[in-house]
Structures are given as structure tokens and as C-alpha cells.
């Protein structure tokens, strides 16, 4: 598994998404109000909405296009919607955020 540096913890605002490009992936990073950081594919499974521009509530992000609710932890769309996005493991070391591919 490859770890790739993507951001500093202090540069990630709480409850706002940040888009990063890692290899061939467009990834949305989210720092939740708990301080936990999640990384998911930055495209809604419904119509491809940019999830990093969505609104965060708890551990979920609401797609800005059609309000689909996606879990940032598991990548699953919440019922009644169906689908999922790829999730990426996140590691933090010395205030640096790494995404694992």
C-alpha cells in the first residue's frame, strides 16, 4: 500500500471538503467536527456531483447537485438512495495527512 501526502491537518477546515488529485483519483477530504479525517471518491454515484462542495452533517456529506446523503466513513449512499463511492484509508503522522492507495 502506498501512502501519499495530501495536506496538513491544520490546513483542513472543519466540516468543509477539500478536493485533491492523487494519481488517477479525484479525492474529497473531509475533516469532521470530531477531528476525524475521511477520504472518499469526489463524485456522487447518482449524477457525478462534486462531493467536496457538499454540506457536511455528522459523518455524512450531502451532494450539492441532488442532495444525496453519502457516508464519508463507508462511502454508501443512505436509503432510499442506492450506490456507493470508493473510500480511501487516511493516516496522520506529525500533522501530515496521507491517503493510502
Tell me the CATH number at 60: 2.102.10.10
Number of domain units in the chain: 1
Distance in angstroms (rounded) separating the CA atoms of residues 1 and 8? 20
For a pLDDT cut of 90, what percent of the chain falls above it? 97
Find the Cα–Cα–Cα–Cα dihedral 75, 79, 80, 83, rounded to 10°: 20
How does pLDDT run across 11-22, given as a tens digit for each residue?
A: 999 989 999 999
Q: Is 38 exposed, middle or buried (0-12, 13-18, 19+ CB in 10 A)?
A: buried
Could you tell me the residue range of the domain that residue 63 belongs to? 3-100
Average pLDDT taken over every residue of the chain: 96
- pLDDT score of 55 more than 90: yes
How does pLDDT run across 80-93, given as a tens digit for each residue?
A: 999 999 999 999 99
Question: Residue 34's pLDDT band (boundaries 50, 70, 90)?
Answer: very high
The pLDDT score that the predictor gives to residue 88 is 98
Amino acid at each position: 500500500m502506498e501512502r501519499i501526502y495530501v495536506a496538513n491537518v491544520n490546513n483542513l477546515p472543519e466540516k468543509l471538503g477539500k478536493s485533491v488529485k492523487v494519481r488517477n483519483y479525484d479525492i474529497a477530504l473531509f475533516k469532521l467536527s470530531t477531528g476525524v479525517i475521511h477520504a472518499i471518491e469526489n463524485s456522487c454515484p447518482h449524477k457525478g456531483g462534486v462531493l467536496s462542495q457538499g454540506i457536511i452533517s455528522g459523518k455524512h456529506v450531502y451532494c450539492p447537485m441532488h442532495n444525496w446523503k453519502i457516508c464519508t466513513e463507508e462511502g454508501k449512499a443512505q436509503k432510499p438512495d442506492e450506490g456507493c463511492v470508493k473510500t480511501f484509508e487516511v493516516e496522520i503522522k506529525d500533522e501530515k495527512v496521507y491517503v493510502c492507495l
